[in-house]
Structure 1
Amino acid sequence: MSCRRFFSIPVLSVILVMGLVYYVTLFVFIDDWVGLRSSAGKLNALIFTSLASLCIFSLSICVLLDPGRVPSSYAPDVENSSWSGSNNDHHCVWINNCVGYANYKAFFLLVFYATVACIHSTVLLVCCVFKNGESYAGNVPLKTFMVSCGVFMIGLSITLGTLLGWHIYLIAHNMTTIEHYNSKRALWLARKSGQSYRHQFDLGVYKNITSVLGSNIIKWLCPTFTRNTEDGINFSASRDSYLVTGRIQAIDARKQEVDDSPVSVELGPISSESHFDEVMEEAQRVGESVVIVWMAAWCRKCIYLRPKLEKLAAEFYPRLRFYHVDVNAVPYKLVSRAGVTKMPTIQLWRDNQKQAEVIGGHKAHFVVNEVREMIENDSIT
């Protein structure tokens, strides 16, 4: 834990806003509505003070608690590592810390308590205005102040409420924001191929919630309770998680067969334009299609994608041949002729004409699925 994380402008700004909202709620809204000494005033002051205290406490946990570390022995997937060149920093400036496995519950409760507190404060503001609205009419500065408070509190409530709703959705489906956006594409691909999709860590709403808030319902709203249903490294996954129904049946059927086909087939190299023409002429002579993978030695996505495409080539062996072209080793005329502008690009050629193409750059398994679909569509036509 490092208390120095509190000394940042965003964190201090959050604390300042909390203090300002607390002061205005108690000593303006409640006091002008029913008075702080009344029973209703004391009750509302107690409730709001409790919410504010829980907000501060949750914020402290978020700021001070280490979000968790990746084990030194962990070897990440090349595609998802820094090799991809993407920025994987999930640092949240408002808590001056990352939101990870260990402090996600505290972050969620911070948003939850802040949202409830803002809505409570907004309701008190409305009650105060309804009771003393006539007295504000002749006092322009006070009227301006109350209108400003109303706009601020409503805006803050909507913002926090939207953020809370988003994280409730994520928790209910047991996924992170990145997993959500990845699953959208996987869902689209599954539907497009007439298959079903389910997020691999979706265990059902109740189990999804307990994986974040803990198995003890009494402690769900306690930010000090650290979830312990998993170890933060290995997570439970449903059997039919991201597997598609049709694919499972195909795999099961394939396992029952004695299949001596190769596991992978190396992509044949094309080194020149004349060689390219020879491949096209041979494919046209036997009435077959050809898959051409346009790659570059400097393209990291190409390096990772190639072995996966070689496994895909084995699925269609021997009726369909896969070739690869290093765009740095052939004349630009050939690259221009194929209309290739991005790497990797996978094209399907038949009768010496390009029939379809898939431009890579995203997740390799998505690219492979698109290439498989491209080939299957060509077979149908």
Structure 2
Amino acid sequence: MYRSGAVMAWNVFKFCTALRGLGSIMILLVLGVVGVSYYAVVISNYGPGLAAGGLDSLIAFFVLALFHFLLVMLLWSYFSVVFTDPGTVPPNWRPAADEERGDNDPLTASEFPSDTENGRIRFCRKCNQLKPPRCHHCSVCGRCVLKMDHHCVWVVNCVGALNYKNFLLFLFYTFLETSVVTLSLLPHFIQFFSDGEIPGTPGTLATTFLAFVLNLAFALSVMGFLILHISLVCANTTTIEAYEKKSSPKWHYDLGRKRNFEQVFGMDRKFWFIPGYSEEDLRRMPALRGFEYPTKPDLDAQEL
């Protein structure tokens, strides 16, 4: 019996290790899809169309301008998720109320802030330290992550408090970019099933066909993820919390759709569509730093 448990623990560890290695392959896959799409749209089809003159040149210019803008925003958001730490609990972290009291008068167990229904202190046995509200331990990264949503192999990183907005923008711009590529290549894809002669070399035709199929598949799959995360943002919850709160009729972090949106994207509209926050938002909104989150009772008390 003991031997079986030991083998199961070893397999889980190997699985987590495999996920770390898989992430690097996923980055290459993303860049590969971008490369194939760039070759099909810019080099094979619409780039040469700029010299055609008339309406064809205007259409080619519009498609290429939109394609490059969305591509820049997609890559900016993507690598912001990859290289931004999702938020880590500092060593020997304590709640702000406990730090204010000092070592001579620490908080008792019943006074520690908690986001559980039974009021227990949130403590991570693997990290051997207290956990801030909405924090969870990631078995792949081997650490506690602030407001953890999930570990994403596509970005070789956890998605948490400090890079969740970047992740949502990555989904958003990926959906727009893949949709633009799909629609722009649709007329060329339809030609494959026509009786007439198709212009182009076998290599360019194969690239166009592959780019269309890949981008259509990505657009449909990313659309599903985007809809899911929009619903999570509207309810001010993460993927993990959405599963955990199924038994709880009320979610005390739900502040209303407008304030829930601001908890992720900030209040400065100029920064809503770029991966980053204004200094003013970071100063006045502690939730963006991942340690403190307003709750519905707190909001009601402020309005009174």
- The TM-score with structure 2 as length reference comes to 0.63
**Cα distance in 1, alignment partners of residues 297 and 211 from structure 2:** 51
Which secondary structure state, in structure 2, belongs to the residue aligned with residue 91 of structure 1? strand
1:47-85 alpha-carbon deviations (Å, 9 max, x no partner): 1101111111112211212211113334696676347xx
- Give the RMSD, CA atoms, in angstroms: 3.3
Q: Verify: 1:207 aligned to 2:249, yes or no.
A: no
CA offset digits 1:86-123 (Å, max 9, x no partner) = 97334322212221111111111111101100001111
Is the Cα–Cα contact under 8 Å of residues 54 and 113 in structure 1 kept in the other structure? yes
Structure 1 residues 79 and 67: CA distance shift in structure 2, 3 A = closer
| Correspondent of 2:163 among 100, 103, 107 | 103
5+ residue gaps in structure 2?
Answer: 1-20, 52-56, 95-113, 115-119, 127-135, 140-149, 300-304
Does the 8 Å contact 1:22/1:52 carry over to 2?
no
Asked if residue 17 in structure 1 is aligned to residue 33 in structure 2, the reply is yes
Offset at residue 185 of structure 1 (A): 2.6
Query: What does residue 245 of structure 2 align with?
Result: 183
TM-score of the pair, normalised by structure 1? 0.51
Ranked by relative contact order (alpha carbons within 8 Å, sequence separation 6 or more), the top structure is 2
Shift of 1:17: 1.7
CA deviation profile, 1:155-180 (whole Å, cap 9, x unmatched):
11111111111111111111110110
Q: Indicate the residue corresponding to 2:176 in structure 1.
A: 116
- The within-5 A match list for 1:316-331 is none
Query: What is the correspondence of 1:66-85 to structure 2 with a 5 Å cutoff?
Result: 66-74=85-93, 81-82=124-125
CA contact (8 A) 2:77 2:166 kept: yes
Spell out, residue by residue over 1:309-356, the C-alpha distance to the aligned partner (whole angstroms, 9 max, x if none): xxxxxxxxxxxxxxxxxxxxxxxxxxxxxxxxxxxxxxxxxxxxxxxx
Instruction: Please state if 1:218 is matched with 2:270.
Output: yes
Q: What letter is aligned with 2:176?
A: V
* Residue correspondence of structure 1 range 139-178 to structure 2 within 5 A: 146-178=208-240
Q: Count matched residues.
A: 223
Amino acid at match of 1:11: I
Distance, in Å, in 1 between the alignment partners of 2:266 and 2:298 is 24
Alignment of 1:36 with 2:50, yes or no, is yes
Query: Deviation per CA, 1:237-284, whole angstroms, max 9, x where unpaired?
Result: 11299xxxxxxxxxxxxxxxxxxxxxxxxxxxxxxxxxxxxxxxxxxx
1:25 is aligned with what amino acid? V
The structure-2 alpha-carbon separation of the partners of 1:135 and 1:82, relative to structure 1 and needing over 3 Å to count, comes to farther
What are the Cα deviations for residues 196-229 of structure 1, in whole angstroms up to 9, with x where unaligned?
A: x221111111111111111012221011336632
Structure 1 unaligned blocks of 5 or more: 187-196, 242-381
Q: Output the CA distance in 2 between the equivalents of 1:203 and 1:93.
A: 31
Matched, 1:62 2:124: no
What is aligned with 1:251?
Answer: none
Aligned to 1:88: 138
CA distance in 2, matches of 1:208, 1:145: 43
Q: Distance in 2 between matches of 1:79 and 1:64?
A: 28
